[in-house]
Amino acid sequence: MTRQACIVCDADAWALLYRDLARCERCGFVRARDLPTRDEIERLYGPGYFQGEEYANYLGDRPVHMANFCRRFQRITAIAGRLESMYEIGCAHGLWLQTAAEHGVRAAGIDISPEAVRHAAETLKLDATLGSFEDARIAAGQFEAFCMWDTIEHLAHPEVVVAKIAALLPVGGWLFATTGDIGSKVAQRQAARWRMIHPPTHLQYFSRDTVRRFFSRHGLQVTSIESTPMCRSLQGTLEGLKLFGQGPLRTAAGILSSIVPPAVTRRVRFTLDLGDIMLVCARKN
């Protein structure tokens, strides 16, 4: 097990939980037992990550992602008001940057996936940089908001990233994030079968309580936490269940995928809120 103090409470009191997870006995924060190195993380997010490994076909599901991002933009601006500038950590193929730009926001981002950044920068002509946020050169106050959409759970050291965000934000600036909620009813009921548990890509498992405490340590006051609905395609859902589902669900997904043509499963879309993905809005004190 990787030895590291809890990023929420600084304790070194880990107890094994299940499925290669460890739980802090002082505050209840959960993380993967083993944290990969930077080189190991970069190898995880090669060309196959967005095409068959964690996503069936990320760009093939573009309408679904854009629907989610449009809804999310409306929600965060309802909370924070008009935003002039924003920086995205984990920008992937640039679909959020495109959404923000279409709403008049000066947007930039960074990602460690060369193929994804190439699409964002060269195909979509967006301000996307290849690299690690820890190394990014950004002036203090350059952006009034930062966002991490389904990204913080992938970080081996989110405390380093959030500390840098807090240092760069102006007073009153915002950090927005989505991540799984291990304290939700679904996650608690499913325990080791919860679909969000899959290290080594998912490493950090926050609850509403631990994410509040974690952000607060860095001078970021959480003003809003809410579960967020997700638009999904039937194809993406089936492929996700085949990869990360458990028992009968995985079996059923495999059977349906073999019966229903991909052209059909791509077209079928639905929106669902299971209550286990949270949208967190935090403001710099």
In a domain, 179, yes or no: yes
Task: Identify each DSSP E strand in the chain by its residue range.
Answer: 14-16, 21-24, 30-32, 85-89, 106-111, 127-130, 145-149, 174-180, 204-205, 220-227, 230-233, 269-272, 277-284
User: With bands split at pLDDT 50, 70 and 90, how would you rate the model's confidence at 254?
Assistant: confident
Whichever domain contains 75, its CATH number is 3.40.50.150
In a domain, 156, yes or no: yes
Q: Residue 243's pLDDT is what?
A: 73
Query: Which domain, by its residues, includes 57?
Result: 46-284
Q: Residue 247's pLDDT is what?
A: 80
| Tokens read off for 203 | 């490493």
Q: 97 with 123: CB under 8 angstroms?
A: no
In a domain, 32, yes or no: no
In a domain, 38, yes or no: no
Burial 162-176 (b: 16+ CB within 10 A, else e): bebbbebbeeebbbb
Mean pLDDT of the chain: 94
In a domain, 6, yes or no: no
Amino acid letter, residue 41:
I
In a domain, 39, yes or no: no
- A 10 A CB-CB count for 281 gives 22
Radius of gyration (C-alpha) of the chain in whole angstroms: 18
Condensed to tens digits (0 to 9), the pLDDT of residues 163-177 reads 999 999 999 999 999
In a domain, 7, yes or no: no
In a domain, 13, yes or no: no
Q: Could you tell me the pTM of the whole model?
A: 0.92
User: With bands split at pLDDT 50, 70 and 90, how would you rate the model's confidence at 266?
Assistant: confident
Total count of domains within the chain = 1
State the Cα–Cα distance between residues 155 and 151, nearest whole angstrom.
7
